[in-house]
Structure 1
């Protein structure tokens, strides 16, 4: 029976960090995975096709990178830390010499990157806790080629991304993620498989992309409704959307036209309801402009 390919363990990670004189920083949200079995679990949960190009954000010292190169045709890694980025190709060459030509490295902030050397069809990443949701939404917005993926985030954030309408933790991340596809909790990762060990567990979130809801409103218009609806939690939509709509009466008209109860709260609505609200506001604006009037 063939031995599984070597994956970086605690000794490997600490040796690399010592070589580079790197200490993980909270600023960059660096918690390196030091357990090969955890890497195998993440890769298996991602359900990658062997011919896929995978985007990895924040590869760090390369723990997950090696596992992804074993499972996919190509890996494109985006790393913000120049010291780690310089070492990563050497790590790939050392442990996966046959995969060097299948690895691309981009030195960039994942929140700003809008172009990659290859079009990825999947994203698999151990994301920094402090920017996890913005990174996920940014990638889904700018890389429509991403069809599915698996991200490891703070466990509480994983629950929020996968939350359904009516849940106490349902909020802006839940609804905006639903614009792009379906999110589901795919597991929990303990603290002892990281260096340094975080204080809280991590959660795995798997997603499958689908086309956004058909609508005459733009994504920005729909997201503006979502932001307004959750800016003041526990307020009725009539009150929460008042400023956004140009006044209480205008908000009431838009909500009724969208088939949404004005006394409902944002936490109870699915993405389709927010789309209808945005459409009605969009239509009202267009009609007011055509008549030379204003809304209010």
Structure 2
């Protein structure tokens, strides 16, 4: 199998009349060694069903296929999606076949090791195969929403390796007390352990972005995800960071109903009301969300009692 070089990328782009735009977050990897490094960093054992978001011209897709995985590529751009199957066929051996489907019509198992879904990743709710891993060079303009959407929708995911802007990578992996720690950090870390897995320079892309990129690895350990629990946790996280400079007693006033009630819930969760949101870890936010749930339950009238 042959991976795409800079010359290949430019030839394919010219053939389909592609001019990459910042608006679509299009930056294509042109270095085969970088592609293989990304696949290695994903730490995928055996053969896995991998979902790739934003395959573009196919650089990483070919790298994942080379490693023996089944790839479901989700591409929103119709021009890129229409070209990808022929690129896969050209650069892989004859045993590689492809099935192209839409998000509304999941394909049956055709024995293929490559499926293409031409759809908006943020609107995807099902795929031809349950993904075990997400490996992608995410479009930079929608990286965090897409990542969180797939973690929410697909509990089958056990591992994630995504390339994003370096500052976003650092934010996702940041711990409590860090300057970059915030809403994306807590929400991503609710699903499992988030670590920086590497730094990618600008020169391996075409066109070259203005800043370096970073690899983020997520070992998804929260396999049982209660949607109601997630909504409660994310609600308090959003509130806590909406006004970063305020203490939690003040920042959570609207969420709790009043500053006094916020203080009571914080104390019940074992958190100093004078603390700020960036000092709390996922477990702290979970206790706070649980305190709010218990408080609400206490206020619910018993069956048969007047309401």
- TM-score under structure 1 normalisation? 0.94
Gaps of 5+ in 2: 98-111
Structure 2 CA distance, aligned partners of 1:236 and 1:111? 34
Structure 2 CA distance, aligned partners of 1:171 and 1:147? 23
Structure 1 residue aligned with 2:104:
none
Residues 184-221 of structure 1 deviation map (CA, whole Å, 9 limit, x = unaligned): 00111000110100000000001100127998962101
CA 213–147 in structure 1, closer or farther in 2 if over 3 Å, else same: closer
Structure 2 CA distance, aligned partners of 1:212 and 1:47? 18
- Of stretches 222-231 and 130-139 in structure 1, the one that deviates more from structure 2 is 130-139
Equivalent position SS for 1:99: coil
Structure 1 residue aligned with 2:182:
171
Structure 1 CA distance, aligned partners of 2:227 and 2:153? 20
Structure 2 residue aligned with 1:50:
46
Structure 1 CA distance, aligned partners of 2:74 and 2:228? 32
Equivalent position SS for 1:49: coil
Contact 1:217 1:279 in 2 (8 A): no
Structure 2 CA distance, aligned partners of 1:134 and 1:293? 44
Structure 2 CA distance, aligned partners of 1:226 and 1:249? 19
Compute the RMSD of aligned alpha carbons.
1.8
2:246 aligned with 1:249: no
CA 20–216 in structure 1, closer or farther in 2 if over 3 Å, else same: closer
Residues paired across the two proteins, number:
290
Structure 2 CA distance, aligned partners of 1:177 and 1:93? 35
Structure 1 residue aligned with 2:33:
37
Gaps of 5+ in 1: none
Structure 2 CA distance, aligned partners of 1:272 and 1:213? 16
In the TM superposition, residue 234 of structure 1 has moved relative to its aligned partner by 2.0
Structure 1 residue aligned with 2:279:
268
Structure 1 residue aligned with 2:194:
183
